[in-house]
Copies of this chain bind each other. A is one copy, B any other.
Amino acid sequence: MSETLQPALDPHAFAQSELELAEKMIFEACHSQVAAVSVGAAHVMRAGGKRLRPLVLILAAKACGYGGAERSARLGAAVELIHTATLVHDDVVDESDTRRGQDAVNTFFGNEASVLMGDYLVCRALRMIAEESDLELMRSICDVIVSMCEAEVLQITYRGDLENTFDNYFRVIRNKTACLFSFTARAGAHLGHASAAVRERLALFGLNLGTAFQIVDDILDLTGIEEELGKPTAADLREGKFTFPVLHAIRHAEGRDRESLLQLSDAQVDEVIDLVRTAGGFQAAYDCASEYAERALDALSGLSDGPALQGLRSVTARVVERRY
């Protein structure tokens, strides 16, 4: 049976050796001459996460013909370090108590160390990206992190705003999440020496995949099970971050439901979630995420088929289907 006909290819298994190498590099990056830094960084990175970004980078590189392991593992590790650093800084930002089933780093180490640990991880990651002799990659990751900061500030300014627009919501999630996915997929294409056109396709794939991912993340924040998510449910809602399902409900609820939603801060979280469900907020959000996933798949069309491309398709499907 040809590999291209395997319908249920497990992308993690296909990229296993590179993922293991990326994991090794992540922990090498945690190693510091200062013992407290090593302990803190390893604690943060050990908390896990799905390593989705390294997986996407490794698969994109393979899909574009990169035959090695080291460079895709290193760039994948770097992207994961950057992603985790933003979570660590986000924990300072949001004063949340739990993240990924462990104590948030700021609860564990205090705000001071969390800020420094995030800075450390980002700069270690940038140093790894600088190993690639490609200044465009360097410039591009700096731009992406700048966008991520801007998006986080935007999100603060929109907090508690019941009349916030979908445009604003999409602007935030694009810059906060999708741009890093876009960088990730394009960096894979870079390793495969793909043409400019193919790099753009991969960048577009990542942008749409990241958008779908964040919409689903925002749904799961409201509907997920705390033990599965590894963080408290409805954290966004409690912080006044109104995401797709809530914004949809505010627009589509009628009568008393609508009035209740407009006095959202007085309502119980469970009550709000029920109102959002009744107004079709979750279904609409899933539909929207699926649409972005479709766009991501479209961006891949025309690339030569094979297990790596199948892996990217499979990742895309799982991003929408996941329940945690």
Contacts and interface: CB of A to CB of B under 8 A. Distances in A.
B133 A146 contact: no
Given A111-B93, A127-B139, A130-B142, A119 B149 contact: yes
Interface in A82-124: 89, 92-94, 111-113, 115-120, 122-124
Contacts of A148: 119
Contact of A145 (B32, B119, B157): B119
A150 B111 CA distance: 15
A123 B146 contact: yes
Nearest to A145: B123
A36 B151 CA distance: 11
A42 interface: no
Interface in A134-187: 135, 138-139, 142-143, 145-146, 148-150, 152-154, 156-157
Contacts of A94: 112
- Copies held by the complex: 2
A2 interface: no
A150 B115 contact: no
A156 to B, nearest CB: 6
A33 interface: yes
Given A127-B139, A135-B133, A145-B123, A92 B115 contact: yes
Interface string A22-47: 00000000001110110010000000
Nearest to A33: B150
B120 A93 contact: no
